[in-house]
Amino acid sequence: MSITAFDIENERALVVAALRDPEARQSIAGSLEPEDFRGERFAVIIRAVIECQRLGLEPDDEAVAVQCGDEDFGGFDFLQKLRSLEAPKNLNFHLARLKQDSARYKIGKQDLPELEKMLADRTIDFNECLVKVAEIQDRLRPGAEISDTNDVWAEAFDRRCSGAHGFQSIGYGVLDEFLIDGYAKQSVSVVAGRTGHGKTTFVVDTVRRLIARKTKPKIGILPLEIGRTSFVDKLISSVMQFPLEGIRKGAAKLSLEERGIFRQMAKKLIGSDDRLTVLDNPFFIMPDRTNDAAMAKLEEITATHGFDILFIDLFQRCLTDIRPAPIESALVRVQHLAKLYNVHLVLLHQISRKAEEKKDKRPALEDLKGSGGYEEVPDLVLLLHRPKAAKQFRRKDEIEIRVAKQRDGLSGFTVIGDFKGNISRIDNEHLPISGGDDDE
């Protein structure tokens, strides 16, 4: 048994990136070998580009031809055709895909024939066969390469110094002062609260703040609870400070001029700027409705779009098996996806109903619903609470944003803001005089 199939389009994308983009060329040279390419000409060209990189040469057509020697690289016309193609936008996705294709090919050539012999040999204990299967599975999983620790740290430190990685604002200045990483790439956050306590409003308001910045992160939204159209309604309401009821219920009463203003705002927010993408729910149309299939779809989304931050509201809507162990397994995979695809994943989550039984209704880490993984996996946990949602007689509607967990920094403090649910905004955020721990 052998596996000979490979994705020639993926290989072509990486060769184009290596020829056109110096930064991509460095990544490819550092993580791939020519033997990973099954296309013979592509393998020859990559070998030549890597050699140019080692010698400090610009891999123009002449230099590539010299390094190819007598091997068939397709000629100068082929090189020019490759250079005319657009370089891929998400290099990490193509790198990970080729590594898996290469692993599959090598396994098909070497490991599977050996496994077949083991299974046919009754003198070999079946547990040994299972160990072999586990080894094959491990090799098919994308993972970090083993590198010198000092080099890895130095590279990460250089990225922080250049501003390419490291702290990313979550949109609220008072909170940002106390956060070490915020929404930094390669990490995971959980934002949790009871129903009606402002989770979606918090996301909408955060997005409004982040896209108004001079340097915008590339943001993705998976509004699994309310849907794409409703999320955009709320975002436009927040940006324009126009009541949501007027956009939905009162739309027929708007003048032609007002309708044009709303259309222009929608186009400005999500139609002409690729820094914000609001996705439809992709999990309903999956033929295989399992946790593994959902995580594979989430990986496809993170790999394809190249987001800096991806909000998933609500995360548990992705899953079909919501027992504690499967949830924890899914969360660990989310953590891996954040690191592999260089993205910050924000998971919106609910609070257990048991929290309602407490005298102080403010949620705590142990109130996170479904699995201890929601407490263990995230780098940052924000818990939301609206006292007025619990006691309607309160005149002032405020939202408490509590930093319940910060992996490498201060936690246990609360920021309070004015909650304006009708326009999906949180304003006048400040630290409470009392520390936010007074009884309800």
Determine the Cα–Cα distance for residues 153 and 175; give it in Å rounded to an integer: 27
Quick one: tokens of 261? 């203003």
Measured from the Cβ of residue 209, the count of other Cβ atoms closer than 10 Å reads 17
- The two tokens of residue 24 are 């991509």
Give Cβ neighbours of residue 134 (< 8 Å, ≥ 6 apart).
Answer: none
Residue type, 131: V
173-220+276-430: CATH superfamily: P-loop containing nucleotide triphosphate hydrolases (3.40.50.300)
- On whether the CB atoms of residues 321 and 375 are closer than 8 A, the answer is no
Give the separation between CA 109 and CA 119, rounded to whole angstroms: 17
**Residue-by-residue pLDDT tens, the chain, 440 positions:** 334 456 788 888 899 999 998 888 888 888 888 888 988 899 999 999 999 988 888 999 999 999 999 999 999 999 999 999 888 877 877 888 888 788 778 787 777 888 888 888 888 887 777 777 777 766 555 544 444 666 657 766 766 676 656 789 999 999 999 999 999 999 999 999 999 999 999 999 999 999 998 888 999 999 998 999 999 999 999 999 999 999 999 889 989 998 999 999 888 888 766 789 999 988 877 777 888 889 989 998 998 888 999 999 989 999 999 899 899 989 999 999 998 888 999 999 999 887 777 778 889 999 998 888 899 999 999 999 999 987 778 889 999 999 999 998 899 999 999 999 999 999 999 998 754 444 44
How many CB atoms within 10 Å of residue 137?
A: 10
118: left (phi over 0), alpha (psi -120 to 50) or beta: alpha
* β partners of residue 405: 381
Question: In terms of C-beta density within 10 A (0-12 exposed, 13-18 middle, 19 or more buried), how is residue 322 classed?
Answer: middle
Whether this model's pTM surpasses 0.75: no
Instruction: Write the DSSP symbol of residue 440.
Output: -
What DSSP designation does 356 have?
Answer: G
In order of 16, 20, 117, 133, the CA distances from 125 in angstroms are: 48, 52, 12, 13
Same fold? 1-143, 173-220+276-430: no
Superfamily covering domain 1-143: DNAb Helicase; Chain A (1.10.860.10)
Q: Tell me the domain boundaries of the chain.
A: 1-143, 173-220+276-430
